[in-house]
Amino acid sequence: MMPFGKHHGTSWPELPLDYLQWLVRQTEMDADVIYCGRREIERRQQAEP
């Protein structure tokens, strides 16, 4: 679940891809949040045919 902001309480798979991409580029973001964002992006890429 996203711990803060506009998408607070939203599960990672439900977050928009453009938001995840923005999130992982933020240098001041919590490392755990960046890790989860990257992991979700990778999961989606692996799921593509």
For the record, the structure tokens of 10 come out as: 């939203």
Q: pTM for the full model?
A: 0.89
What residues does each domain of the chain span? 12-47
Q: Give residues with Cβ within 8 angstroms of 5, minimum separation 6.
A: none
Pure H helices in the chain: 17-24, 31-47
Distance CA 31, CA 40 (A): 14
Q: Quick one: DSSP state of residue 28?
A: T
Residues 1-49 pLDDT 10s: 999 999 999 999 999 999 999 999 999 999 999 999 999 999 999 998 7
Distance CA 26, CA 47 (A): 25
